[in-house]
Amino acid sequence: MHPRGNVLYLHDLMCRPWAKSLLGAAWLAVAACEPGPVTLTDPQTGATSVPRVTLTLHVGLDSLDRALADSLEWSNGVPNAHVSVLRNGTGTWKELVSDSSGHASAVVLPGLYRIRAERVLTAAEASRVDGTVRAFGDGKTVTVLSTMTVELALYADRPKGLVISEFGVGTPAPWETNGSYLAGQYFEVYNNADSTIYLDGKIFGLNPNLYASGRGQSCASIARFRTDSAGIYVRFMLAFPGSGLDHPIGPGELRTIAVQAIDHRPIHWSLLDLSAADFEIGFGGAAANPAVPDMLDVGLTGWGANLLLLGRHVVFLAERIDVASLPFVFRDAAGQGYVLMPASHLLDVVAVRTLWPDNDTRSISLPCAPMVHPLFDRYETVLREIGFAVDVNLDAVASLERKVLRVGPSGRPVLQNTNTSAVDFFLGTRTPGALPNSMVSAMARSRRFDQ
C-alpha cells in the first residue's frame, strides 16, 4: 500500500519482486524499477535512451462544487478517483487511483497525453450530503516533456432533462459494401427528468468542421468561435417534427432516430433492423420508411452525407428555435457559414474525436484542444483509435453509450451527465430502442436513492 493512502500505485505494483521474477529480463526494458539514471525505449519511434519522467495528477473538485467538497471532506483532494492516462499513439491506457490527498503518479515517456478522471459517490458518502449518488468528471490533453504535476477539477453531474444517450455510428468496412454504407446509423435521446418532455421542434445539431485544424485554418484562428461561452457555432441542424404536443417522451423513455428506418441486415451482417425507429433522418433528403416521421432539415446547408459519422464533431440538442432568426456570424476558411445557437437554448452537448497515431501533432486535421467551451463539455470522448490495428468487425458494431449512474425509487434509470463526455460515455455494443449496456451493473450497485 502506498504510504499516502490506501492505494496501490502502478509503479509500486509492477516493481514488486514477484512481478520482476514473473516478467523476467524483459522487465528491465520497460519498468525502470531500479535506482539510478534508467531510461526507456520509445515504442512509437524506436528511439533508445529516452529519459523517463514522472507525471503526477492532483484530483480536486471544481470551485462550483465547493460545498460538496467541504461536506465530503475533500477540500484538499478527491480520494479514490479513477484516473486514466493515455500516451497518444499507444492505444493502451494507464489506470491509476488517487490517494487520500487526491494524488496519483505514473512514470511515463515524454509525449502528448490524454488524461481523464472520474469519481462516483458510494452509498455511505451520498448519505453524508443529500442522499444523491453523484458522479464527478474532468479531463484534459497535455504535453509532457519533463516531470510535472497536472491539476484536474472534477465537476459534479447535474441531471438534465433531455440528453443524447447513444450514438450507433458503427459502419461496415467500405470494401465490404462497395463504398461507405452510412444509412444504418442512428442516435438516441433519453428523458432524464421526472416529467414529460415534448420533442416537437427541438434541434439536433452537428458540426464537423469547426473543431480541427486544416482546411486553411489553425486552432488558434478559430479559438474564439470554438470556445465561446455564448453558445455553439453550427451549420448542420435537424428539427423534430410536430406542432408542440405531438411527440411526448415520458420520464425514463428514449427515442431512436435512424438515418434510414428500414431493415439494413440484407446489406451486411453487422447492420441492424431499424424499421421500428421513432424518427428518420432520411438519406440525402429522401425518406426511406413512410411510416416513420421524418426529421426536418433546418440547417444552413443540406444534411446530406454528413449524417452521424463522428470524427471530430460537437453534437448538441437545443430547445425549439427559429433557426432563420439566428444571426449569421462568419464564414470559415472554406467559405462555409455559421450561426450561433445560444447557450440559453442548449440542452446537451457532446464532443467526440478520433485518436490518430503518434504523428497526431503533425496531422493536418488535428482536433483542437479544447474542442468547445468547458461550460458545455469539459473533455471530449473518443470513438475510434485509428492506426492501432483496429478490429474491423468490432468497429462495425461499436456505439457510444451514456452511462447509467443510479436508479431512482420508481426504478427509473438516471443517466450520468458531468458535462465531461470522456467519462459520461463508454464504447459499447449497439442497443437501439433499449437502455445502455451499463444498465445491468448500475441496477446491481444501485441503492435506489432519490434524485
Residue 450 included in any domain: no
One domain for residues 174 and 272: yes
Residue 285 included in any domain: yes
Residue 261 included in any domain: yes
One domain for residues 229 and 354: yes
| CA dihedral over 302, 287, 346, 215, signed as positive or negative | negative
How many whole angstroms separate alpha carbon 187 and alpha carbon 329?
A: 28
One domain for residues 224 and 323: yes
Here the CATH number for the domain that contains residue 114 is 2.60.40.1120
How many whole angstroms separate alpha carbon 154 and alpha carbon 420?
A: 9
Residue 2 included in any domain: no
Given 130, 156, 182, the domain boundary residue is 156
One domain for residues 147 and 222: no
Residue 108 included in any domain: yes
Residue 380 included in any domain: yes
One domain for residues 171 and 148: no
One domain for residues 146 and 172: no
Beta bridge partners of 111: 144
User: What does R_g of the chain's alpha carbons equal in angstroms?
Assistant: 23
One domain for residues 199 and 307: yes
Given 156, 188, 206, the domain boundary residue is 156
Residue 119 included in any domain: yes
DSSP string, 380-445: -EEEEETTS---HHHHHHEEEEEPEEEE-TTS-EEE---S-HHHHEEEEE--TTS--TTHHHHHHH
One domain for residues 95 and 189: no
Instruction: Report the domain count for the chain.
Output: 2
Q: What is the pLDDT along the chain (451 residues), one digit of tens a residue?
A: 333 333 333 333 344 333 333 333 333 333 334 333 345 566 656 666 678 899 999 999 999 998 999 999 998 999 999 999 988 777 778 999 999 999 999 999 888 888 999 999 998 999 988 888 999 999 998 989 999 999 999 999 987 799 999 998 888 878 888 877 888 889 999 999 999 999 999 999 987 666 666 666 777 888 888 889 999 998 889 999 999 999 999 999 999 999 999 999 999 998 999 999 999 987 655 667 999 999 999 988 777 654 566 667 889 999 999 999 998 887 777 777 889 999 999 999 999 887 765 444 444 455 677 888 999 999 998 876 554 445 555 567 778 899 999 987 788 899 999 999 999 998 888 889 998 765 544 443 433 333 3
Given 156, 191, 223, the domain boundary residue is 156
Residue 1 included in any domain: no
One domain for residues 168 and 302: yes
One domain for residues 150 and 170: no
* Residue/partner pairs of 331-336 with CB below 8 Å, 24 or more apart: 332/209, 332/210, 332/215, 332/217, 332/222, 333/215, 333/216, 333/217, 333/221, 334/209, 334/215, 334/216, 336/209, 336/235, 336/301
One domain for residues 188 and 257: yes
One domain for residues 391 and 424: yes
> Residue 216: its pLDDT value, please?
67
The C-alpha torsion from 78 through 64 and 447 to 5, rounded to 10°, is 10
> Residue 410: its pLDDT value, please?
80
User: Which residues span the domain enclosing 92?
Assistant: 10-156
Rounded to 5°, angle at Cα 252 from 248 and 254: 60
